[in-house]
Structure 1
């Protein structure tokens, strides 16, 4: 089946809201997310939406132009993933090949990160079929929980003994009060921001973007937030969303001098119980990063991939490609 592709600036066409990656829906795979990134200055020199069509199916890939000849996935540090989205049914592989063939006419280098493990082989294959030199390397981690029909109690029984004992002992003391919210509240969000500012975390990357995202998710009914207080003072907060059977853990923070009471651990336990028992999710996604504590809560781990693609039609791409591949054979990693 023959495919064709297009490359359009965002003011000509944007991603439709119903585009899907062929996996459970994610807040980072909707038109509104990419619009938000662009509105907050994360589109580099320009936002570019790449399209490829094959029959009734269209592949879409939101990109940014970093500088002349170089494109990257439209992401920032809040993003869990970047991968092609699709509208319609048909030969997705052909649509992807068409997309990347069109991109060859517009750029000499393309970088995608973080690409989910389930998508990287198909994406890299389509790039190579379109004539790109491609280097795919694992460059990050994702921890997630696959409940596989388990109840909350079934899952909790399998957690490490130290974690279960901590939750039992600290909850029994009654020092920490837990509040769970399903709607955005300015006062509660301000409490989160104050906790984050007093936490061990680095300075928040873009608090205005995150706040706008939280407000949007509240309007969609996906917003979940927990705040832990000791003697009325907020000491820990977490921001989650729930969508299409998956809970996404976006942000968490706690005040350092509250650690003895384990407010963050108690808050996590309460939110896990809520999304499993009330929202009845089948999966909990802890996002990017390989922090050791995530293993206590999750039962699955997978790599995230960086795809570096070089266009051999541009001599300027040869040097960076040789450097990236070093001694490995072009296009085979």
Structure 2
């Protein structure tokens, strides 16, 4: 077994590039283009990268980690997955058949870093890699727990065309789309664009930024991430960007990522001045039709969150989870483990006590 830790994603051995390529077929969020844009735009050149890798005869695995100083009490050192709120999914890249020995070897490198904590999220709990990661940390002597991150709504099309999918939408949503689209058509002052690449890309990016800055959303803390993601997606053939214009003013914008028969609804924004026109919902429906009937996707994913409106468009829900691990060989790791598991035990005991108090009293009968 060959285990190595790299501090860059450049000049990787072919076996690891192949592992990222294979993982990228499962999710864009496991791919090298995704990580490279994230690291460049968010972490910058000072990123303390730790690419943990293990290569066996028939399988390879890699985990993109960052070494950081936590803001938690006592400022423990941490290894965390290379992700933040921009990342809707995180996990290992691998090729071949993943197995416990491979993951045990890969996570043995985490112990060599002598950090206090390790955190991986958001993970696909249904993936076999989830159990392999959790077991590998335990096998390497970490104290491990898991935690809920968020719900994820998605749509399985099962061969349907857009017209068939549209008929399955809630009546209220269909009526809104029909009524608002008719009003826009009658006014004649709205137009919609969907692009994948080409000379209009820079204009679309600028319009997206203008719309986002006029929306209700918190300003982007990393100004280069979204332009970089637009360009990365265009270069890879993943980009489906839609913009709605009202009186030639950018009114709503969406970034979708289409890859391997999946469409990911990544970013939505609209200028609040146009909220009553429902241009955002109409744009969603138009891109839906585009990716279903033109790209022939098999699944559409609304990614992060349990907002009620997502249930109107989607059909299924799953969950993303995290794994937190404490190093009992370090003082700070031991202290944080005691605080975490102690608080968890106390919460369980309080809940058990409340449940017992809520039980009806047993009636006593005189003999």
TM-score (norm 2): 0.82
Aligned residue in 1 for 2:81:
73
Structure 1 runs (4+) deviating above 4 angstroms are 11-15, 20-24
Aligned residue in 2 for 1:178:
192
Q: How many Å apart are 1:218 and its aligned residue?
A: 0.9
**Which is further off, 18-27 or 275-284?**
18-27
**Which is further off, 15-24 or 43-52?**
15-24
Q: How has the CA–CA distance of structure 1 residues 224 and 99 changed in structure 2, closer, same or farther, with 3 Å as cutoff? A: same
Q: How many Å apart are 1:54 and its aligned residue?
A: 3.3
What are the ranges of 5 or more consecutive residues in structure 2 without an aligned counterpart?
70-75, 346-367
CA contact (8 A) 2:150 2:319 kept: yes
Q: CA RMSD in A?
A: 2.2
Q: Give the 5 Å matches for 1:296-315.
A: 296-315=312-331
**Which is further off, 119-128 or 291-300?**
119-128
Q: How has the CA–CA distance of structure 1 residues 315 and 53 changed in structure 2, closer, same or farther, with 3 Å as cutoff? A: farther
The CA deviation string for residues 200-237 of structure 1, in whole angstroms up to 9 with x for no partner, is 11102323121112112112221111111112221101
Which protein is richer in strand relative to its size?
A: 1
Aligned residue in 1 for 2:350:
none
The CA deviation string for residues 283-322 of structure 1, in whole angstroms up to 9 with x for no partner, is 1121212222111111111111121011222232111112
Q: How many Å apart are 1:280 and its aligned residue?
A: 0.4
Q: May I ask how many residue pairs the two structures share in their alignment?
A: 326
Asked if residue 83 in structure 1 is aligned to residue 91 in structure 2, the reply is yes
Which protein is richer in helix relative to its size?
A: 2
TM-score (norm 1): 0.90
- Aligned with 2:335: secondary structure? helix
* Max Rg structure: 2
CA contact (8 A) 1:310 1:318 kept: yes
Q: How has the CA–CA distance of structure 1 residues 21 and 108 changed in structure 2, closer, same or farther, with 3 Å as cutoff? A: farther
Separation in structure 1 between the aligned mates of residue 18 and residue 231 of structure 2, nearest angstrom: 18
Q: How many Å apart are 1:262 and its aligned residue?
A: 0.5
Q: Give the 5 Å matches for 1:96-245.
A: 96-106=103-113, 107-119=115-127, 120-173=130-183, 174=185, 175=187, 176-183=190-197, 185-245=201-261
Q: Structure 2 residue aligned with 1:275, among 291, 296, 305?
A: 291
Aligned residue in 2 for 1:40:
41
Aligned residue in 2 for 1:25:
26
Aligned residue in 2 for 1:257:
273
Q: How many Å apart are 1:34 and its aligned residue?
A: 1.6
